[in-house]
Structure 1
Amino acid sequence: MKTKAQSILLNVALLVVGLLTVFPFVWMVLSAFKSNAEINSLDQTFFPREWTFDNFISMQQNFDFARLMANSVVLSVTITAISIYTSCLAGFVLAKYTFRGRGFLFGFVLSTMMVPWAVTIIPRYTMFTEVGLQGSYASLIIPAILSGFGIFMMRQNMSAVPDEVLEAARLDGASEIFIFHRIVMPMSVNAISALAIFQFLWVWEDYLWPYLMINDPSKQVLAVGLTTFSGRYATDFGGLFAATTISIIPVIVVYVIFQRRFIAGAASAAVKG
């Protein structure tokens, strides 16, 4: 009886926390269908008094939303794919190969996770500016090629792959490249799915680095483009809510695709040493 009561209280508490978390998002989506006059009104209502789609129409007219959306999607998918592959490759080497300095190298990878990202902004900006990469997508892709968190996560996961399976494949004449691509990576699909969600979100929401490196409005990403709704004296909240609502769609799509394996991948990386 006591256990059942505790379970009910826990479920109620989780429900309340869930509602508090989702409420601002739902308010934003509904506000996308309100006029700016209604949004700025002191007499606020949860649902729009008059539903309107003008915000979704005007956001494309006021700034090139479609181009910025496409730029963000292409960059996020490209960086995520490259980061996942390099993380899997480095994780496989650190997990399944024995060589001098392996422990030191893995410790160095972990140490990069402990350095605040803000500390590296100035030297990174200086390096990319001096080599002439400012204004190009290479300045956004190159820093994300290697991920310390991704390498750590894949190394932890691939350590659980039985060595007997790999040895059997080698005895059958399989090359190391074949073993990595056709055996190890399929067995690590849970961790890859979890890493894909993390990496995609990081790239999609990144604002400061694209703002510093990309000076061509046609090449800019959506996170930076959304700031154009904020003027000097007023903010187009309706357009901002509409653009933000649509910008969340790719994130939801990625999560829906990988969510079945997300929990299993994150859990396996956390408990295996």
Structure 2
Amino acid sequence: MLSLKRFNLTDLLAFIVISIGAVFMVAPLLWTLSTSFKSKAEVFALPPVWIPETFHFEKYIEIWEKGPLLSGIQNSLIITVCVTIIGTFTSSLAAFAFAKLRFPFKNMIFLLLLSALMIPYPAVMIPQFILFSEFGWVDTLKPLIVPGLFGNIMMIFFLRQYLTSVPGAIIEAAKIDGSSYFGIFSKIIFPLIRPAVAAQLILWFMAVWNDYLAPIIYLNSPEKQTLQLVIANFNATYAIQTDYALIMAASFIALLPMLIIFLVFQKQIIESVAISGVKG
């Protein structure tokens, strides 16, 4: 009976802590959505007004007229889709090679790739900018797309760890049957790692979509800017005018795709955490 009480008390404490954390995570989102429908008086009302008396939808019309929001969405989609789709494919191939193939200095090359994670981005930011400037890529989407096409080391590491549980006998049997390495990958390996790939692709999509530092370094023209830069410009321009409802409306539009992806694919995201804990 005592152990049961302790168990229930532990569950209760865990539930309380998680609930408090959920409130802190969800409350800003609800406040953003609520503020986007408020009048200016309600935005600055004390005590704060969570539910406006009248919902004002005009800010969701104004955001399309007062900034290049549509081009920002298009640029973010182009970068995110190209990087995540092609980069996921190359990362999967690299993970398969590091996990199951035999070639000289395999472990050394993999350790070198992992060691690159210890180098902070500000340390390579200026050399990268100089390199891409020599290529004539500044103020284009290429610096944000091309590096990601060669894969993501975190995804490579994750998928490699996942592939260590796949028996090597399966691959040897396929080789005896005359299958090529790419045939082994496409017909055997990829179907096995599809859940892990889906989870990592979703997380990478969210990271690239929300990236702010790299776009602000390379993009100058308004028509080239990503959605995050457009939102930042909204904030810099209309915060002075205290038009916070407009800023919140633009912010919620930027947040909406990620919110939809999380709600639709939350199972895969949770599985990625569980898989990384078990397989890693």
Question: Is the structural similarity TM-score above 0.5?
Answer: yes
Q: CA deviation at 1:80?
A: 0.9
Whether the aligned pair in 2 keeps the contact of 1:190 and 1:262 (CA below 8 Å) is: no
The worse-fitting range, judged by mean Cα deviation, of 114-123 and 43-52 is 43-52
Residues 4-45 of structure 1 show CA distances to partners (whole Å, capped at 9, x for unaligned) of 122122112211211121111111111111123421344521
Which of 245, 253, 258 pairs up with 2:260? 253
What displacement does 1:269 show?
A: 3.0
Kindly indicate whether the alpha-carbon contact (under 8 Å) linking 1:193 and 1:258 is maintained by their aligned counterparts in 2: no
In structure 2, what is the Cα distance between the partners aligned to 1:207 and 1:38?
Answer: 30
The correspondence for 1:155, drawn from 157, 160, 168, is 160
Q: Do the aligned partners of 2:203 and 2:269 also contact (CA within 8 Å) in 1?
A: no
Consecutive unaligned residues in structure 2, runs of 5 or more: none
Match of 2:211 among 203, 206, 212: 206
Q: Secondary structure at the match of 1:165?
A: helix
- 1:228-267 Cα shifts (integer Å, max 9, x gaps): 2222833431111111112112112322443222233333
Of residues 169, 172, 176, the one that matches 1:171 is 176
Read off the aligned partner of 1:96 and give its amino acid letter: K
Q: How does 1:86-97 map to 2 (within 5 A)?
A: 86-97=90-101
Amino acid at match of 2:28: P
1:140 aligned partner: 144
User: TM-score, with normalisation over the residues of structure 1?
Assistant: 0.93
Separation in structure 1 between the aligned mates of residue 68 and residue 131 of structure 2, nearest angstrom: 31
| C-alpha separation in 2, matches of 1:6 and 1:215 | 53
Moved over 4 A (4+): none
Deviation string for 1:82-108 (max 9, x for gaps)?
221111111110000122211111111
Is the CA contact (8 Å cut-off) linking 1:83 and 1:144 kept in structure 2? yes
Q: Give me the CA root mean square deviation.
A: 1.8
Contact 1:69 1:221 in 2 (8 A): yes
Greater CA drift, 121-130 or 131-140: 131-140
Q: 1:10 to 1:82 in 2, by over 3 A?
A: same
**Per the alignment, do residues 47 and 257 of structure 1 end up closer, same or farther by CA in structure 2, a change over 3 Å counting?**
closer
Distance in 1, Cα, partners of 2:223 & 2:40: 27
Name whichever of 245-254 and 92-101 sits farther off: 245-254
Query: Secondary structure at 1:248's aligned position in 2?
Result: helix
Paired letter, 1:60: W
Change (3 A) 1:268 1:175: same
2:117 corresponds to which letter in structure 1?
A: M
1:83 has 2:90 as partner: no
Q: Is the 8 A contact 1:68 1:221 kept in 2?
A: yes
Residue identity opposite 2:53 in structure 1: R
How many angstroms apart in 2 are the aligned matches of 1:148 and 1:172? 32
- Report matched runs for 1:32-47 at 5 Å: 32-47=36-51
Letter in 1 for 2:228: A
Pick closer, same or farther for the CA change 1:41–1:8 going to 2, 3 Å.
closer
Q: Taking every aligned residue pair, what percent have the same amino acid on both sides?
A: 31
| Matching of residues 55-134 of structure 1 within 5 Å | 55-134=59-138
TM-score when normalising by structure 2: 0.91
CA contact (8 A) 2:215 2:226 kept: yes
Offset of residue 197 of structure 1:
2.1
SS in 1 for 2:265: helix
